[in-house]
Chain A
Amino acid sequence: MPSYIIRRLLLLIPTVFVALSFLFFLFFLLPGDPVDLIVGGADRTVDPGVIARARARYGLDDPILVQFKDYWLRTLRWDLGESFLNGRSVNELLGERAVNSARLSVWAIIIEIIVGITVGLISAIKRYSIADKLTTIGTAAAAAVPVFVLGFVFQYLFAVYPNQHNWPEWARLRTSRLGPDEWFLFFIPQGEQWRYLILPALTLACVSTALAARMMRGSMLEVLQADYMRTARSKGLTERAIVVRHGLRNALIPVVTLIGLDFGTVIGAAVLTETVFSWPGLGFTIADAVGDRDLPVILGLTLVVVIVYALVNLLVDISYAWFDPRIRLGERGKS
């Protein structure tokens, strides 16, 4: 097992290298002169003298390979540079943003796990009942709703409407922004913070919860029919014991995979939610950074995302071993 972990961590290095280098060259491939954009050429025609000076200042007049080499040398020292746009340290920027995204994602995933797994479990056990039918439609519907529409609807229902109709203060939620930024134990919102957190977390959780529920149901159903379950039943164990001790663990495997994937893709999904709710996270940052050709931010952010994602995946794969003792990690044929 330890060698497996080490191997996985080592494999992280080429992944990071390839991904970031790809983006680096993509940046230069994109049409439009990055320097022109940096100095504001997206809004107006810029004096060529200004562009020339900016180019020299950002080192963008060096040949590409030289810039590439410089970039990697700096990155190895974890000097992620400064944003082209406003000169802020990328480290600082990412630190702030990543923390906000993490908090939002964690809560979305908690909701996903609790609600999703429970709902999926129930509908699998009580198959063909009314509850099952309802959850089937419900989860399908939840998976089909466009996230950003949902966000606006929530904003209106829970924040704008109550304000216009003078609901009591305790019943109102907030439309946007981070809020007082008060947290207990890093993840638990304190004071007013939860009012700012709920709506974006629910919106972000919506689709993935639906999918988790459906996945859970599907895999639980399969597991319930499996041979080893029949064996357990024939041994006389109660249905409950069967479900919990034998079925659940196996059924959870794909769900855990899904959640692991979610953690990584949450950046993409989060772009929409963070934009609608003005939640200052990574997703929010990244869309603008590409449009603005803010290379240091793009690369720095991707670096963080890749590493976090790889680590989470590693954890997920390790957890397989716990869920299904038959799985031996590190065997040939498995990643």
Chain B
Amino acid sequence: MTVIEPTGPSAATSAEPGVLQLGEAKPLRTEVWRRFRKNKLAVAGLIFLMLVILAAIFADLIAPYGFTDRPLPRTYRAGPSGAHWFGTDAIGRDLFSRIVYGARVSLKVGILATSLSLTIGILLGAVAGYFGGWLDTLAMRLTDVFLAIPYIILAVAIATLFGRSENSIIIVLGLTGWLAIVRIVRATFLSLKQLEYVEAARALGFGRWRIITRHVLPNALQPIIVYGTISVGTAILAEAALSFLGVGPQDPTPAWGLMVAQGKGDLVSASHLLFFPGAAIFLTVLAFVLVGDGLRDALDPKMR
């Protein structure tokens, strides 16, 4: 799967120190929020995400049926109607309910996978960038090895070892998602290391760890936050892809990706089975991407 962008030239090279403001440990929260609010697309995305989160939390209240219920009168592959707002699926289950419950699965996969990959990526990137030397080389070689192993092989192997479920997808995505963030974090640490205030801090005798967490890391936060947000979206997309390949959650779990995979043959005859879960994935991922964009614009101290 392709990678989500790091922020800019500063991510890949050691560009001029002017990229990050000296002394500013964190952008001010209200300032960020104000800027974010001005971006209408990002706000729209945020609202949609709130809806999705609410759906996930209150699924029991919102969904008219359980996700395995096959309500009477039985209809199969029926289109949207008064009784079934999104229609019914191949064995008569209410599609709307399944999509609402599906929000839980998607969010769970997205958030946990991203958390895992961020943790690994930040740790490795920080270590590589800050300490340099053989640790750096080791980390980079490790990255190369992981990049070398085709993602698909890992996905199938892990699914075979741990069973096909959301958890396997979380593991797979976590174990492969850190590759992009590592480079960003590493590059940030590399450039920051050279900064004067860091040298000053060291001269003053501050411990290395303190320097990392209090001064360097917060500046690296911006790309991490942006990347993390968008990454939740791509994780959800990846879950769909892996379900299509048969490696993910199984029936009756109402995973959106699985529903799309099951519905792909229905493009002509029962397109609602493809359209609604597909739209759910699409809109949710889009929302994450827009919010991520908005955050990036809002967090960047140089952008007006």
Which A residues form the contact surface with B (CB < 8 A)? 11, 14-16, 18-19, 22-23, 26, 29-32, 133, 136-137, 140-141, 143-149, 152-153, 156, 207-208, 211, 214-215, 218-219, 221-223, 225-228, 250-251, 253-254, 257-258, 261-262, 264-265, 267-269, 271-272, 275, 283, 286-287, 290-291, 298, 301-302, 305-306, 309-310, 313, 320, 324, 326-327, 332-335
Contacts and interface: CB of A to CB of B under 8 A. Distances in A.
A257 B9 CA distance: 10
A144 B278 contact: no
Contacts of A19: 145, 148-149
Contacts of B190: 333-334
B13 A310 contact: no
Contact of B8 (A16, A18, A153, A254): A254
8 shortest A-B CB distances, which residue pairs? A222-B8, A215-B5, A144-B285, A268-B151, A306-B148, A290-B156, A219-B8, A144-B286
Contacts of A257: 12, 183
Contacts of B274: 149
Contact of A218 (B5, B41, B160): B5
Nearest to B11: A254
A144 B148 contact: no
Given A140-B289, A140-B290, A265-B3, A149 B260 contact: yes
B197 interface: no
B302 A16 contact: no
9 contacts: A140-B286, A146-B240, A146-B260, A149-B274, A218-B7, A251-B9, A253-B13, A269-B1, A333-B190
Interface of B: 1-13, 15-16, 18-19, 41, 132-133, 136-137, 140-141, 144-145, 147-153, 156-157, 160-161, 180, 183, 190, 233, 237, 240-241, 244-245, 257, 260-261, 264, 267-268, 274, 278, 281-283, 285-286, 289-290, 293, 296, 302-303
A298 B160 CA distance: 16
A152 B264 contact: yes
Given A31-B160, A219-B8, A271 B16 contact: no
A189 B53 CA distance: 48
Nearest to A247: B9
A37 to B, nearest CB: 11
Contacts of B144: 11, 15, 310, 313
A310 B147 CA distance: 9
Of the candidates A283, A320, A335, the one having the most CB atoms from chain B within 10 angstroms of its own CB is A335
Contacts of B148: 15-16, 19, 264, 302, 305-306, 309-310
Contacts of A265: 1-3, 147, 151
Contact of B152 (A228, A254, A268): A268
Contacts of B283: 144
Given A30-B161, A265-B147, 12 more contacts: A19-B145, A144-B289, A215-B5, A222-B10, A222-B19, A254-B9, A258-B2, A261-B2, A262-B3, A268-B152, A306-B148, A320-B13
Nearest to B160: A30
Given A133-B41, A136-B293, A272-B241, A223 B8 contact: yes
Given A218-B5, A218-B7, A272-B245, A335 B240 contact: no
Contact of B12 (A31, A254, A267): A254
